[in-house]
Amino acid sequence: MLSVLRRKAAAAAVGGSDAMLLGGRLRKSCAAAAAGLRGYATAAKEMTVREALNSALDEEMSADPKVFLMGEEVGEYQGAYKVSKGFLPKFGPERVVDTPITEAGFTGIGVGAAYYGLKPVVEFMTFNFAMQAIDHIINSAAKTNYMSAGNISVPIVFRGPNGAAAGVGAQHSQCYAAWYGSCPGLKVLAPYSSEDARGLLKAAIRDPDPVVFLENELMYGERFPVSAEALDSSFCLPIGKAKIEREGKDVTITAFSKMVGLSLEAAEILAKEGITAEVINLLSIRPLDRPTINASVRKTNRLVTVEEGFPQHGVGAEICMSIIEDSFGYLDAPIERITGADVPMPYAANLERMALPQIEDIVRAAKRVCHRSVPMAATA
């Protein structure tokens, strides 16, 4: 299969000058997007996160014959979460490759294909299963460019749902943002909205380095407004740039993926009590947009970090250290971290809810840093 793909890619390189020119324009447009991220004021339509991922991957595969998708049930079944719906009849089995249930095997094949100049998109049914392939992700993909003195690029995307879903137990509910975010050589992205998913997936596929793309199972069906600009096939978002979802002056709240939604809801509640929260959607875990976070904290003088992963060595811990190193003198209150509980995820629904961050947890933390919390005795 890979030999066929290599031959097709070589043929496209010789005769596909139009595709090469289009690729150049796409890269230029992505660089232009780095000038700044805009909100949804120019929204043209609504789109689910699933539809955003599907359209982004469809357009990138259409624009570049080197891009192909592989993973369990991505073809005949159209993806476990229907992200690859319609791909098999459009692109054929050579570019939409159904694999056996062997993450270590097909991830290694994907990395090898990237060594040869192809651009694999490897789909994991869940990132919990990617633990079977973590040797290829870290040792084979992340380190090769450095160990080859820059002679071998590894343009590959590892994507799939990350974090807790609902009632799937401890082995299927982990957040891997901090795991992969600690590894040099990887870029780690975590979209929240449809526009995030569309723009970041395009950027990930075009990037010359390995990218871990962390989606969320519970977000696939969520519908968001999408701007007219984001619907253009040349659209992408810059890797390493956070987005201020809501401006405020009293407290900064950082979050990524599903936790952005909870943080925005918490900000609405806080606004009714006279606290204006600035909500930052991180988008990129590695590289982390430290300048945007520090600039916000220097304005609000307070910080609450939110993530559903474990507390120890988490993304929030890294953000806290960044603030202590660069903006400690601006803090008017201790930093608050909201995380998942430091336990394996319970299966029971009531315990699962207790183990994950909730809106009320964010509200209470923001009130504490703003010295507005109600004493426990007053609520007894």
84-124, pLDDT tens digit by residue?
999 999 999 999 999 999 999 999 999 999 999 999 999 99
For the chain, the maximum distance between any two Cα atoms, rounded to a whole number of angstroms, is 76
Q: Which residue in this structure is represented by tokens 């079977």? A: 132
Tell me the pLDDT of the chain averaged across its residues.
90
Angle of helix 315-327 versus helix 290-300 axis, rounded to 10? 60
E strand spans, the chain:
43-48, 67-71, 96-98, 119-123, 157-161, 187-189, 211-215, 223-227, 243-246, 251-255, 277-281, 284-286, 303-306, 336-338
Q: Is the pLDDT of residue 277 over 70?
A: yes
Question: Which CATH architecture does the domain made up of 46-231 adopt?
Answer: 3-Layer(aba) Sandwich (3.40)
**Would you list the domain boundaries of the chain?**
46-231, 243-370
CATH fold for domain 243-370: Rossmann fold (3.40.50)
12-71, pLDDT tens digit by residue?
443 444 443 334 444 444 544 444 454 444 557 999 999 999 999 999 999 999 999 999
Going by C-beta distance under 8 Å and a sequence separation of 6 or more, which residues neighbour residue 240? 187, 284, 287, 288, 289
Alpha-carbon distance of 357 to 338, in angstroms, equals 7
Shortest CA distance to 177 belongs to which of 127, 223, 142, 238? 127
- Would 46-231 and 243-370 be classified into the same CATH topology? yes
Helix (H, G, I), strand (E, B) or coil at 202: helix
Per-residue pLDDT averaged across 356-374, rounded? 92
Catalytic amino acids? 103, 172
pTM: 0.87
Residue 139 contacts residue 111 (beta carbons within 8 Å) = no
